[in-house]
Amino acid sequence: MTHQETPEERKERFKAMSSPQRKGLIRAKMKEKGLEEGSGVKGATYNEDEVWDLIQITSCFPEIQAKQP
Residue with the larger pLDDT of the pair 45 and 29: 29
Which alpha helices (H) appear in the chain, and where do they start and end? 7-16, 19-32, 48-60
Per-residue pLDDT averaged across 21-36, rounded?
A: 87
Domain residue limits, the chain:
1-33
The answer on pLDDT for 16 being more than 90 is yes
Q: Give the pTM.
A: 0.46
Q: Are 30 and 36 in contact (CB under 8 A)?
A: yes
pLDDT at 53: 86
pLDDT at 66: 63
Q: Are 42 and 35 in contact (CB under 8 A)?
A: no
